[in-house]
Every structure is written in C-alpha cells, then in structure tokens.
Amino acid sequence: MTLIPELDYKQTKDNARSTLKKCRSWQRMSGISVSLESPVITDMPRNTSNTNKLERKMIKLKFGI
C-alpha cells in the first residue's frame, strides 16, 4: 500500500490539454488578460541606470536636447 496513488499520465495530459483549450474562452468571457508564461527569477539587480539624472536634466535644460 502506498501513500500516494500512481499517476495516470495519459489522463493527466488529457486534463491539462482540455483546461488549456478552455483558457482562451474563459479569458474572453472575463475580459481579463491572462499570461501563461513562467515568471523569470533572476538574482540580478533591477536598477540598470548608471547615469546621473541631475546631470542629464541640466544638459537637457541648457542645450534643449
């Protein structure tokens, strides 16, 4: 006797396909945009700007760039 029953891979696959096929119609009915993408997990910092914002503002005001 096992604690976890054996998986029926064919039935699981069929259930997943059925649910994913219905997803687009559920999205249209709800009016909410749904993304089926996996989240991107990274250890890189989000701040990518290495510029001096005050300096950029001064250049923009002086030269109209």
> Is residue 27 a part of any domain in this protein?
yes
- d(CA 14, CA 21) in angstroms, rounded, equals 11
Residue 21 sits in which domain range? 10-38
Q: What is the pLDDT of residue 48?
A: 59
Q: What is the pLDDT of residue 49?
A: 65
Q: Which residues have CB under 8 Å from 34's CB, separation 6+?
A: 23, 26, 27
pLDDT at 25 over 80: yes
> Is residue 46 a part of any domain in this protein?
no
pLDDT one-digit tens code per residue, 31-64: 887 676 777 777 776 665 667 778 888 888 888 7
If one counts the domains in the chain, the total is 1
Q: What is the pLDDT of residue 15?
A: 94
- d(CA 27, CA 36) in angstroms, rounded, equals 11
Mean pLDDT of 4-32: 88
> Is residue 24 a part of any domain in this protein?
yes
65 confidence band (pLDDT: 50, 70, 90): low
